[in-house]
Copies of this chain bind each other. A is one copy, B any other.
């Protein structure tokens, strides 16, 4: 995994567990680390590490409140990737569909992997 923001966000989202954590934070904004951990089988420490990855990608915002850490989902990084990739891929989408269809058909008899 690299250091640029894109890689951090994609890397964070590449784990089903972390995406589930985001779901929890969306459903219960402002909840604590233990609140999140209670939804998973793994140890609280493992959840904390996932939270650190998510926070490093900017997908989670947190602050200490007394002895609790208050967690919030932050959609902004996703929105940013969204905006960039829309403009970048929009020219490929409709235009490419025919080509992709051709490729898929043409490889019908080839070796798959």
Contacts and interface: CB of A to CB of B under 8 A. Distances in A.
A1 B96 CA distance: 29
Interface string A75-95: 110110010011001001100
A14 to B, nearest CB: 4
Most buried by B among A10, A62, A104: A10
A106 interface: yes
Interface residues on A, range: 35 or more
Contacts of A113: 52, 55-56
A15 interface: yes
Contacts of A99: 29, 72
B15 A7 contact: yes
Contact of A100 (B11, B74, B89, B100): B74
B85 A100 contact: no
A42 interface: no
A62 B103 CA distance: 8
A39 interface: no
